[in-house]
Chains A and B, each alone.
Chain A
């Protein structure tokens, strides 16, 4: 057991992360459009980021499939087995990429008018893509850490988190003026790591009691070789830090996120960059720490 080598590695984790990031950015662009129409630059950035992230994700998927790299024609076969979750995922990603690329073109034109129907299709595709990244792993009975229904939801919430972080990072760097009117959005963003922590804790508890392989996976994360990354990288920098820093300005200061000074801006840059890293780290840890069921018991 201890000699088990993970089947996948950082490249697939990157693919899962970028697909989620694209989905999250698109969903937040939708929220911006509905509730914060004045944040034009952020929305524009989200609409440009989405197809780029999705395309990069697909490139990573292929980069990790040497059989297809050596024989590019085999890429066409990716569409063939409708029983395969990976096949659905490729369909979702292609549809999502097409829609979001179209939206990007509209965004880049002078007069921006995005048909509501197109936006809705994009939103549905974004949900499918984000959930798919969890289902892809979830159907593998081999690994108790993956083989459960919490994982797709955790990945969905983490995708939203990554999307929000990317937008706020951009705004803090390049459009600080837009940060003023979006306290509501920040409160929404604040909720995400809370939900993620609850889901992550549930996932780990349930997996721990699932089987010896489940317990081994959880221990690898919380006390084993991945534990520094898990506690410092994911739990502290990726999730908790956001709550520690943002609770007071968002909920307990008179003006509600009142300070817009240089310090607040740097805090935003740091926090959101860390949240993005945390999103990638979540995928990486889940991919790397999964231990296989013991077959001959």
Chain B
């Protein structure tokens, strides 16, 4: 069993939103629905300031609040520990949206259900082609892979760049950020 994760390097991210747009296309999302959201901000103090673009999406938490609060069991841990939503079970109560500390769940107004990043980027690992965030990124800021395989490109990059989850050990997130 693999333990999939991702690295996002905000030092090379230029905030172009290509990942966001490719994701919309890949998943056929309505114009008001985004699985990736950006927090743009300035850091540091004059004269050493920098502008940071931080793409946020479902962190694939190992301790996932969305799964524990979901009354219907629609939010669940699927194969390889990936947090998924069973669209056929969701009652649309939006409890998961309140419980997700990263505010990365969205609501599908048409179907009346919750939705989020489906981590489709793992298809690239088996040679599949699509238009996922990883493939679309102009600056190769994103790497997807198996966290349990120390030789994977992902694991090596995390070690080398000292990447960390965005909010410490808040939920045992599996997306690692270089800041």
B-binding residues in A (CB < 8 A): 4, 7-8, 61, 64-70, 74-75, 77-81, 83-87, 90, 136-137, 139-143, 292-296
Contacts and interface: CB of A to CB of B under 8 A. Distances in A.
Contacts of A136: 95
A70 B72 contact: no
Contacts of A137: 98
Contact of B98 (A8, A69, A84): A8
Given A140-B99, A141-B99, A142-B103, A7 B94 contact: yes
B91 interface: yes
B103 A78 contact: no
B112 A69 contact: yes
A293 B65 CA distance: 15
B143 interface: no
Q: Which 8 A-B pairs have the closest CB atoms?
A: A66-B112, A67-B92, A77-B72, A68-B91, A86-B71, A67-B91, A66-B92, A65-B93
A295 B112 contact: no
B112 A80 contact: no
A296 B56 contact: yes
Contacts of B92: 65-69
Given A70-B112, A74-B91, A296-B39, 8 more contacts: A66-B92, A67-B111, A77-B89, A80-B71, A84-B68, A86-B71, A87-B71, A292-B101
Contact of B71 (A4, A69, A84, A140): A84
B93 A295 contact: no
Interface string B35-48: 00001010000000
Contacts of A8: 94, 98
A85 B98 CA distance: 13
A216 to B, nearest CB: 14
16 contacts: A64-B94, A66-B112, A69-B112, A77-B71, A77-B74, A78-B91, A81-B73, A84-B70, A87-B71, A139-B99, A141-B99, A141-B101, A292-B101, A295-B56, A295-B167, A296-B56
Contacts of B74: 77
B71 A295 contact: no
Interface majority SS on B: helix, strand, loop or mixed?
loop
Contacts of B113: 66-67
Interface in B101-160: 101-103, 111-113
Q: Please indicate which of the listed interface residues B69, B72, B90 has the most CB atoms of chain A within 10 Å of its own CB.
A: B72
A286 B135 CA distance: 42
A137 to B, nearest CB: 8
A90 B69 CA distance: 13
A64 B94 CA distance: 9
Chain B residues touching A, range: 35 or more
Interface of B: 39, 41, 52, 54, 56, 65, 67-74, 89-95, 97-103, 111-113, 166-167, 170, 177
Nearest to A62: B91
A85 B65 CA distance: 11
Contacts of A294: 39
A65 B91 contact: yes
Contact of A75 (B54, B67, B91, B98): B91
A86 B68 CA distance: 10
Q: Please indicate which of the listed interface residues B52, B91, B92, B103 has the most CB atoms of chain A within 10 Å of its own CB.
A: B91
Nearest to A76: B72
A187 B56 CA distance: 53
A84 B95 contact: yes
Given A85-B69, A86-B71, A296-B41, A67 B56 contact: no
A294 B168 CA distance: 13
A75 B72 CA distance: 8
A141 B92 CA distance: 20
Contacts of B73: 77, 80-81
B98 A86 contact: no
A197 to B, nearest CB: 27
B70 A81 contact: yes
